[in-house]
Amino acid sequence: MIKLSVNLNKIALIRNSREGDYPSLTGHAEVCLAAGVHGITVHPRPDQRHIRPGDVRDLAGLVAGHPGIEFNVEGNPFAAPQGNYPGFLPLVEETLPHQCTLVPDSNHQLTSHHGFDLNASGPRLEPVIRHLRDLKLRVSLFMDPDPEQIRLAREVGADRIELYTGPYAAAWGTDALAALHARYREAAALAADIGLGVNAGHDLNLHNLVGFRTIPGLQEVSIGHAFTVDSLAMGMANAARAYLNVLADA
Residues identified as active-site: 43, 74, 202
Q: Decide: 103 and 74 in contact? Cβ < 8 Å.
A: yes
Closest CA to 131 of 81, 85, 90: 90
Residues 6+ apart with CB under 8 A from 186: 145, 147
Beta bridge partners of 183: none
CB 137 within 8 A of CB 88: no
**Residue 94 neighbours by CB distance under 10 Å:** 12
DSSP per-residue codes, 121-146: HHHHHHHHHHHHHHTT-EEEEEE-S-
